[in-house]
Chain A
Amino acid sequence: DQQVKQNSPSLSVQEGRISILNCDYTNSMFDYFLWYKKYPAEGPTFLISISSIKDKNEDGRFTVFLNKSAKHLSLHIVPSQPGDSAVYFCAASRNSGYALNFGKGTSLLVTP
């Protein structure tokens, strides 16, 4: 049963524009959320996280928004760069010490 869902398998954005990747979750026990970037045949690379006590976390070009009532989070990348092209996974956990539950990923393509 997929508890973390990324309903958009792919997204194409022009360089310089904003990329918005969405993620929904079903388990209300999740209280820690992370975004990972992944290239083929490599392990995921951590991008940004947010705990349930916050609704926004910003790190450079990356901002994650959390809407707990809607069980929805999103990753904003602005401005998007061609090097951002990769698969982005949303992940959620109940707490530190528990394994991550991943969405199926969204493949982002940033075109020049």
Chain B
Amino acid sequence: GAVVSQHPSRVICKSGTSVKIECRSLDFQATTMFWYRQFPKQSLMLMATSNEGSKATYEQGVEKDKFLINHASLTLSTLTVTSAHPEDSSFYICSAQDRANSEGYTFGSGTRLTVV
């Protein structure tokens, strides 16, 4: 089945630094990728939708200058958390849509970000 690889799985960074999270579709082309964020015991909240070759669409309340999304190819999308703060510590998950797959949405394994 469709596989989405997300790296890194865990990252610890200092306040003020930037962290890049990669999401790759391994065996299909993902024209659309979604980035979610999950706080403990909360739902997965959509942050942004990225379409290959165009600017990402951000959800209300998500700072686009802080969470930079790049979707330069049909198999790769990146999320960069800039000038990270402790409140950015969360679990970030990407999802890619494979229109040829009846399941539709395939999730990465997630990235646990801890900002110290």
Contacts and interface: CB of A to CB of B under 8 A. Distances in A.
B43 A99 contact: no
A9 B41 CA distance: 9
Interface string B37-57: 000011111100100000000
A103 B99 contact: no
Given A41-B91, A89-B43, A89-B44, A100 B109 contact: no
Interface residues of B, number: 28
Contacts, number: 58
Interface of B is mostly: strand
Interface of A: 2, 4, 9, 32, 34, 36, 41-46, 49, 89, 96-97, 99-105
Interface of B: 4, 6, 9, 32, 34, 36, 41-46, 49, 91, 93, 95, 97, 99, 102-110, 112
Given A2-B43, A42-B109, A43-B109, A97 B32 contact: yes
Given A41-B112, A43-B93, A43-B110, A96 B43 contact: no
B110 A100 contact: no
